[in-house]
Amino acid sequence: MANNPLGVMYIEVNDVNFLNLGCYSLLSNGQPLFDVGIIFAANINYDVANQRAILYFNENVDRVLADVDKYVRPLQEKGIKV
């Protein structure tokens, strides 16, 4: 693992296009610089009435997750885990 560290990028999708993750590559072999892309950020809210935690996505995270063919699949096709 020391010779092949993982490159991880968190992307705040409120003002950055998630596809930017795929724009960086290694000069040595053209492979993607980042191995993993993380959509930032979900929030955990608390539903008092039902006494349970709820995962909450803002509208920008929802947009990315709702259109995986546009924002996620192209990165996965490059070998990037999302």
* Domain presence at residue 3: no
Domain that holds residue 53: 8-77
pLDDT score, position 2: 57
* Domain presence at residue 22: yes
* Domain presence at residue 19: yes
pLDDT score, position 4: 75
Averaged over successive runs of 10 residues, the pLDDT of the chain (82 residues) comes to: 80 95 93 95 92 94 96 97 96
Q: How many structural domains comprise the chain?
A: 1
**Pair type for strands 8-12 and 36-40:** parallel
* Domain presence at residue 68: yes
pLDDT score, position 44: 93
Q: The whole model's pTM is what?
A: 0.82
The stretches of the chain forming alpha helices (DSSP H) are 59-66, 68-71, 73-77
